[in-house]
Amino acid sequence: MACSTNGSNSTVQDRIFHAEAAPACKELVWLACNEELEVRSLLFAKGNVENDTCPCCGKYSETTMHALMQCEEAKCIWFGSPLGLRVELLHDITTVSEWIGECASFMDKKVLGMVCVIMWAVWEKRNVWVEQRKKLDFPEVMAKAHSMFFSDEWILPSYPHVKANFSASVKDSVGTAMGVVFRDFAGVPQACATNLMEKQCFEEGIASLYSHWNEVIRGKVNSDGFFLDSLLEDCKTMIRRTKSCLRLVGCGGNKVARFIASEAFVYGERVWTEEVMDEATQYVIADVLGPLSLEYSDFDSDSFHDF
C-alpha cells in the first residue's frame, strides 16, 4: 500500500525525501508507507515468527500503524515530542500511509522532517527492546530523534562556541576537494581552508559514514571494519575532549562550506585566518541575513557531502 492520500504517490515520496531529516529516517518512513517494515504481523504472515503480538505492549497485533503510532509507548513519544501529537485523536487515519499523506499535504519540510525523525526514533526504541531487551526512556528516544534532524538553514552556534561546517566534492578523474569554515556565535568567520586530494576518498555515502560514526560513538565497532576507522577514532577523542558534537546538515545550512569545497579545485591546499576567501563572502552574509537572500541551487547537490 503506497502513500496516496491528498496527492499522487510520487508527490508524497518527493516531499518525504525533501524533508529535513537524515536519509535513514526518510527511508524508514517510505518503507512504512508501503507496508514494508518487518513488523510482527508481516513476519507472522510469512511464517517467520510464532505470533504477531507487539513485542513492546504485548497486547495487540503489531501492524505498521500499531508499531509506529498506536502502541501506548509510541503514543507517549508522539505526545511528549515537540509536535505534541495526540494519536488517539486521529480517528479517520488507519494506516501510516494515510497519516504521512496528510502530513505531506500541509507540512513544510522542517515539520515533516520532525515527523520522520520521531517515527524513526519510535522504531529504533522498538528494535533496541527486541534485540537487546533494553528499554530506552523518553529523553534517550528524543536524543536519538534530535541527532537525526537537521535544519536546511544555517544556525548560529550558542555563546561562546565556534561552529565548523565542512563539505567535500568529488569530480571524476580529478579527485576529492574539501572545504571547511569556522564561525563564532556572531557568525563572524574565524578561518577557512581548502584541500584537494587526487584520489577519490569518499568510497562510502555520507549517510553510511554518519551511521558508522554513530556506531563508533556507541563503541559497537572494532577498528578493522571501516576504511576511515582510525580517523573516526581521532574525531571521537577530539570531540570528547572539547565537548563538541557532530551533526548532518542540509545543503541550505552548509552553503559556505559547499562553496569553499568547490573552490578547492582552484586553490588546492590553502588556509585563510580570521576571514574567508573573497568569493565566499556573499554566502557568509546570506547565512546571517537569512535563507531568502541567496539561492543555493547553483551547486551540484549530488556531488557534495556535508557536515
Q: What is the pLDDT of residue 119?
A: 97
> Dmax over Cα atoms in the chain, in whole Å?
65
Contact 101, 7 (CB under 8 A): yes
Strand 304-306 versus strand 163-171 pairing type: antiparallel
- State the pLDDT at residue 201: 55
Give the Cα separation of 32 and 1 in Å (integer). Answer: 9
pTM over 0.75: no
Confidence at residue 156, expressed as pLDDT on a 0 to 100 scale = 87
The pLDDT value recorded for residue 5 is 42
Residues in the chain: 307
Task: Name the grid cell of 30.
Answer: 517510505
Q: What's residue 108's pLDDT?
A: 92
pLDDT at 205: 55
Which amino acid belongs to residue 140?
Answer: E
**pLDDT of the chain along its 307 residues, tens only?**
445 444 457 789 999 988 988 888 999 999 999 999 999 999 999 999 999 999 999 999 999 999 999 999 999 999 999 999 999 999 889 999 999 999 999 999 989 999 999 999 999 999 999 999 999 999 999 988 887 887 778 888 888 889 999 888 888 777 889 999 999 999 999 999 999 886 655 545 565 666 667 676 666 665 455 556 777 777 778 777 777 777 777 777 888 999 999 999 999 999 999 999 999 999 999 888 864 444 433 433 334 445 5
pLDDT confidence of residue 99: 95
Residue pair 276/284 in contact (Cβ under 8 Å)? The answer is: yes
d(CA 277, CA 179): 11
How far is Cα 67 from Cα 44, in angstroms, rounded to an integer? 15
Q: Where are the beta strands (DSSP E) in 16-89?
A: none
What per-residue confidence (pLDDT) applies to 217?
67
Q: Is 178 helix (H, G, I), strand (E, B) or coil?
A: strand
Q: What confidence score (pLDDT) does residue 155 get?
A: 84
Cβ(226)–Cβ(286) below 8 Å: no
- Rounded distance between C-alpha atoms, residue 78 and residue 104, angstroms: 17
For residue 232, what pLDDT is reported? 74
